[in-house]
Amino acid sequence: MAAGTLGMIMTSPGQTYTESIFIESLIADLSLSRSLVSTLYSLGTLVGGFSLPYWGQQVDRHGTRKMVTIVSILFGLSLIFMGFVQNPLMVGLGFVLIRMLGQGSLGLVSQTTINQWWVRKRGLIMGISGLMMALIGMGGFPSLVHWLISILDWRAAYVILGLVLLLIMAPIGFIFFRNRPEDYHLQPDGIVLDEPETSQHMLTENPIEINWTLKEARHTRAFWIFGLSLSFYVLAVTGLTFHIVSIFQTQGLDSSLAASVFLPIAITAALSNMLVGYLSDRMPLQVLLSIGLLLLSAALMTAQWLQGTGSVLIFGIIFGISNGFARTLGSVVWPAFYGRQHLGSIYGFTAVLTVIGAAIGPLPFGIVYDLIGSYTPVLWVTAIISVFLGLGSLSTHKPRKDQGE
């Protein structure tokens, strides 16, 4: 869990909450428009995201230890490349690489390796992991990058982040990542099995879970309701986060306050990660999804009325709680509903849905602002859609394989 959680934290250089701190420097130094950078980021996210089913299949085939090493090295090199971009083409290629390898593949393999080792306690474990991810990743990386840019420059900041992936994450992943517990004569949740034959039996006929193939999972209603709802979740969160510095500035607030808002976001996300992780072992996941979407709607509406420190704090708290719901549910729902045996493939496919959301997210925000100089219309529209999805998600339930639903 510790190594997998570090892997999740180290996706931060490829996450929008960190990239948002680089955006203003990219726009200024390379003389790019906000719409162009938004488009390049969206295309990079989309192109990179469509490779995730391939990475998921490789995780199922080769195991998490080998794949985390490969992905960490490639991600580190991609971040170093971002420190040398000179034109829109290089920026677009860099966005493809860091979104594919950081936000996508490293998160996929780290999340998979944690989920492989727990079933009954999965929600609690992912809640703890999510807490650390929120506090250190979302809470620390934006301020760290802002500080690095202020004392060095944005290019040096990218290179430093790349070296951290190469020199820290890749070795730790190689040493500590392990695939399924059945490979070591163990049962999920830490029960030691005496006979090797029993280990294989548990892998194929585990009485505490039912395994679905990706094809079987795609034929269930719950798969698409959760997949599309989480995709929209990511769309709204990515759009809001990508332009958060500009959103603050349009309301008379400076960039340092925009960077600092990630601290209350991270703290409340961490606490809600723990709470949602605990509740996910005890409550229907569709109810938690509905609550999270309604909270997202509240955060989007609050973002329109930022006047000072108090309103910024309220926004950060609501947005953070909503993020906690999304991150935990996105981690636990697929193994909880469809088992662990084909988890890499299922994560790879569902990651495409969320990546499409992440790719689209910055575009409407950037385009609307360039056209009318305000983010208000797009914030209202996304808030209303969140309400409808939140209420609609209550109509689903955990699929049952014997009924095909």
Percentage helix, strand, coil for the chain under 3-state DSSP, each rounded to 5: 80, 0, 20
Does the structure show a pLDDT above 90 at 171? yes
384: domain CATH number is 1.20.1250.20
Q: Which residue has the tokens 């925009």?
A: 258
CB 345 within 8 A of CB 90: no
pLDDT digits (tens, 9 = 90+) for 291-300: 999 999 999 9
- As a whole number of angstroms, the distance between CA 107 and CA 159 comes to 20
Residue 348, domain member (yes or no): yes
Please report which confidence band the pLDDT of residue 166 belongs to, taking 50, 70 and 90 as the band edges. very high
Q: Which of 54-68, 120-134, 135-149 has the lowest mean pLDDT?
A: 120-134
pLDDT digits (tens, 9 = 90+) for 27-83: 888 988 877 888 888 888 888 878 878 888 888 888 889 999 999 999 999 999 999
Residue 243, domain member (yes or no): yes
Half-sphere exposure in the Cβ direction for 269 (13 Å, CA) = 30
pLDDT digits (tens, 9 = 90+) for 253-267: 776 777 778 778 878
Question: What is the domain extent for residue 20?
Answer: 2-176+211-395
Please report which confidence band the pLDDT of residue 198 belongs to, taking 50, 70 and 90 as the band edges. very low
Does the structure show a pLDDT above 50 at 405? no
Does the structure show a pLDDT above 90 at 158? yes
Residue 370, domain member (yes or no): yes
Phi first, then psi, for residue 187 (nearest 5°) are: -105, 150
Q: Which of 100-104, 130-134, 189-193 has the lowest mean pLDDT?
A: 189-193
Residue 69, domain member (yes or no): yes
Q: Hey, what amino acid is at 116? A: Q
CB 165 within 8 A of CB 105: no
- As a whole number of angstroms, the distance between CA 321 and CA 334 comes to 21
- The pLDDT of 157-162, averaged and rounded, is 94
Residue 276, domain member (yes or no): yes
Strand partners, 191: 187
- As a whole number of angstroms, the distance between CA 189 and CA 120 comes to 7
Residue 400, domain member (yes or no): no
Residue 59, domain member (yes or no): yes
pTM of the complete model: 0.68
* Choice between 150 and 342, residue whose per-residue pLDDT is larger: 150
- As a whole number of angstroms, the distance between CA 281 and CA 370 comes to 45
Q: How many domains does the chain have?
A: 1
Residue 191, domain member (yes or no): no
- DSSP per-residue string spanning 54-67: HHHHHHHHH-HHHH
* Choice between 210 and 390, residue whose per-residue pLDDT is larger: 390
Instruction: With CA atoms as reference, report the closest residue to 18 among 79, 69, 70, 109.
Output: 79
Does the structure show a pLDDT above 50 at 204? no
Please report which confidence band the pLDDT of residue 205 belongs to, taking 50, 70 and 90 as the band edges. very low
What share of the chain in percent tops pLDDT 70? 94
Please report the pLDDT score of residue 176 as a whole number. Answer: 93
Please report which confidence band the pLDDT of residue 206 belongs to, taking 50, 70 and 90 as the band edges. very low
Please report the pLDDT score of residue 257 as a whole number. Answer: 74
